[in-house]
Structure 1
Amino acid sequence: MTATAIERTSSARFVRSLAGAMGEALRSGAVARMLVPPRETIEDGTGAKFISMPAVSPDHDLYINKVATIVAPDVAGRGATVTARVPAFSVSTGRHLGTLDGETVTNAKCAAVTALVTDRCAVRDSRVLGIIGSGVQARQQFLGVSAVRDLCEVRVFSRDARRAAPFARDIATMASVAGSAVDVVVCDSAEEASRGVDILSTATTSTAPLPISSDLPANIHINCMGAHTAESRELPAELLRTSVVIVEDLATAIAEAGESHAAAAELDVLTGPGSAGFAQRRTVFASTGCAYLDLITCAHVIDHDASPATHG
């Protein structure tokens, strides 16, 4: 993937364009016509994981397989390291189109699907965003939300206090480059960062529910993008139970995040006639990821860059 393509995927214009492509693929039935088997994860007993996420789309004439390795901290001697690549092929000819950088594809996908869901679910005049987390996915949350809402304030809390201020500066710089005047505030707790906000994004590795504020607006929209298992999650079970929960794929959500997601709606509900009512309700986008969004992202990158991949 070229430097130009990587830079483009970080722009608000690209995020809005990709979010639109995702919405159209859901609305047209292109997603329903894709072949997307469950992801495969192999663990070697040392904490390392090897992941395969294939998807085939006749509409996009594209077959991709996002493959990744995750090396655990006790193996690498540092924080977990992730290496991902996405080989892409033409369905009709079988030709190898190239290999895209997996991290860039994932980041663009996460920002765009956040923009898509936030635009459908958050009230139109949302101005205050709370972000709990300070890593790469927290950054994508700002990019995705700010692409579809004119924010005036972002409240940031990181469980690692050393990372909060640098992350806040990064957000402020991104806003400045985009020509926006956004007040970025570093908070002392998750409760403070979430109190009374219009939109809340969580992007942490927490395996226990975060201590977010009990004073959440009745129509708040929450993007839950961080850690999840069938036994643990970032948000309290009661909050999920009393909210409209939206997921990429229901079977994946139940398998990976548990039965608390059994009543969730899938993303295509956002393209239906009843989607206008979501802004009046409390909504939670509980992301577990799905390869069909990676495929749409790859197709969009390929369409927007003459040489989007590194061939080999």
Structure 2
Amino acid sequence: MSTDGELPKDLPLFLTDADVASLSDWPGAIEAIRTAYKAPGEEAGTPGRIFAQTDREWLRIMPSVPPSGQLFGAKSIAGSFADGLRVSYLISLFDKDSADLVALVDGNRVTGLRTAATTAVGASSIVPSRPLSLGVIGSGFEARSHLTAFSHVLEFADIRVFSPTPANREAFAAEFDGVFGTPARAVGSAREAAEGADLILCAARSRDESPTLQAEWVGPNSAVVSIGSTTPAQRELPAELMARAAAVVVDTREEVVHGSGDMIAARAHGVEVDSLVVTLNAVLTGETEIDVERGIRIYKSTGSGLQDIVVAEMLVVRARAEGIGTILPVGIVTSRK
């Protein structure tokens, strides 16, 4: 505690879920993510998730001091099982120079926006610059948002989608058929979606946490995007596919290598995981070069606070320029120590 605390010169801004919806777009989010991952940074700037939990409540904190931008902070995810499962997301942003509280942002929509935007940047780093045959496994929110984000950085030759529910895959194909200047069609199996594809998007969770993609379905020079194995218990890719990979590009090394069920399982099967992994930052800065034409390239993501903070800062900058959001009537003091 200090007695010489002072209020910030500018009171904090609050962005509601509706504000975030009105300010969001894919190009802005993708550019914010790309800029952050292209900047030289330190791993200590974005540590792993912090958990607190009881049998009834849990709290997850995802902090980050991004290498780019003017703001830093954390996303807090609060969950309660008192009445089913209820979850809320709050992003708090502070000024790097003054440590003043700059903004509070409802993180509900930010999470989906930053996830697909980051994957789009990651996918573009492992595929050649030509029209791609895309196989999609899954037809829910993640599959839809990722396909839409991909359309801003990739060109498609054709799109094949599989979902275990025929009506869902047919609806997905109908929704996207011709939207990006290419046909989209539903297929009867995950294998049919994957075989012959230049890029395979895995965006479906299996009920028993078994892999949704098999190694023999993946061509020798295909790219795979995996976003559904973000905890030690979750599985999406088989160890046999990891063993065939030329490189695995990750958004956060520590979290993916030690926190993803796919990587844990691969290591247990004798795969030298550490020798395969390269960070998205290393690829975008040119520190590591990926041959996008040869070998199986995999992009794996578990998400990080870095992504939340840089996208939230983009939204705050836009909000101030456009007069959107609510200026809070009070702020918190910043103390000199």
Q: TM-score range by the shorter chain?
A: 0.7 to 0.9
In structure 1, the partner of 2:45 is 35
Instruction: Deviation per CA, 1:131-170: give whole Å up to 9, x if none.
Output: 1122222122202321111213221122344432333344
Which residue in 2 is equivalent to 1:190? Answer: 190
SS in 2 for 1:123: coil
**Which of residues 149, 152, 175 is equivalent to 2:154?**
149
Q: Is the 8 A contact 1:52 1:65 kept in 2?
A: yes
Residue of structure 2 in register with 1:270 after alignment: 283
User: Is the 8 Å Cα contact of residues 132 and 193 (structure 1) preserved in structure 2?
Assistant: yes
- Partner of residue 294 from structure 1, selected from 284, 308, 313: 308
Which of 246, 249, 254 is the matching residue for 2:249? 246
Query: What's the counterpart of residue 92 of structure 1?
Result: 97
Tell me which amino acid in the other structure corresponds to 2:148.
L
User: Which residue identity is paired with 1:36?
Assistant: T
Structure 2 length-normalised TM: 0.77
Q: Say if 1:106 and 1:311 are closer, same or farther in 2 by CA, change over 3 A.
A: farther
> What is the CA distance between 1:119 and its match in structure 2?
1.6
Does the CA-based 8 Å contact 2:215-2:238 persist in structure 1? no
Tell whether the 8 Å contact from 1:202 to 1:226 is kept in structure 2 after alignment.
yes
Q: For residues 17-38 of structure 1, what are the alpha-carbon distances to aligned partners after superposition, in whole Å with 9 as ceiling and x for unaligned?
A: 234323432xxx1x32762232
CA distance, structure 2, for counterparts of residue 23 and residue 56 of structure 1: 12
1:137 counterpart = 2:147:
no
* Aligned partners of 1:126 and 1:199 also within 8 Å: no
Larger Cα Rg: Structure 1 or Structure 2?
Answer: 2
Query: How does 1:184-223 map onto structure 2 within 5 Å?
Result: 184-206=184-206, 207-212=209-214, 214-223=216-225
SS of equivalent to 1:121: coil
> Partner residue of 2:78?
69
The alpha carbon displacement at 1:234 in A equals 0.3
Task: Report the CA distance shift for 1:64/1:274 in structure 2 as closer, same or farther (over 3 A).
Answer: closer
Q: Which residue of 1 aligns with 2:62?
A: 53
2:126 corresponds in structure 1 to 121
CA distance in 2, matches of 1:208, 1:106: 25
- Corresponding residue of 2:35: 21
Aligned residues of 1:42 and 1:50 also touching (Cα < 8 A): yes
Distance 2:312 2:66 in 1: 11
More relative contact order, 1 or 2 (CA 8 Å, 6+ apart): 2
Q: Please, which runs of 5 or more residues in structure 2 have no aligned partner?
A: 1-14, 268-272, 329-337
Kindly tell me: are residues 122 and 43 of structure 1, through their superposed partners in 2, closer, same or farther at Cα, counting changes over 3 Å? same
Q: TM-score, normalised by structure 1?
A: 0.83
Q: Report the structure, 1 or 2, having the larger helix content.
A: 1
Where in structure 1 are there 5+ consecutive unaligned residues?
Answer: none
C-alpha contact (below 8 Å) 1:115/1:144 kept by paired residues: yes
**Aligned partners of 1:203 and 1:227 also within 8 Å:** no
User: Cα–Cα, structure 1 residues 126 and 161, in superposed 2: closer, same or farther, change >3 Å?
Assistant: same
Query: Aligned pair 1:6/2:21, yes or no?
Result: yes
The separation in 2 between residues aligned to 1:156 and 1:208, in whole angstroms, is 19
Count of residue pairs brought into register by the alignment = 297
Structure 2 residue aligned with 1:83: 88
Identity among equivalent positions (%) equals 22
Which amino acid is the alignment partner of residue 200 of structure 2? L
Q: Are 1:108 and 2:113 matched, yes or no?
A: yes
Give the conservation status (yes or no) of the 8 Å contact 2:226–2:299: yes
Q: What is aligned with 2:259?
A: 256
Amino acid at match of 1:270: V
- Correspondences of 1:158-197 after superposition (within 5 Å): 158-172=163-177, 176=179, 180-197=180-197
Contact 2:132 2:156 in 1 (8 A): yes
- Using a 3 Å threshold, how does the CA distance of structure 1 residues 4 and 152 change in structure 2: closer, same or farther? farther
For 2:238 and 2:102, locate their aligned partners in 1 and report how far apart those are by CA, in whole Å. Answer: 43
Matched residue SS, 2:98: coil
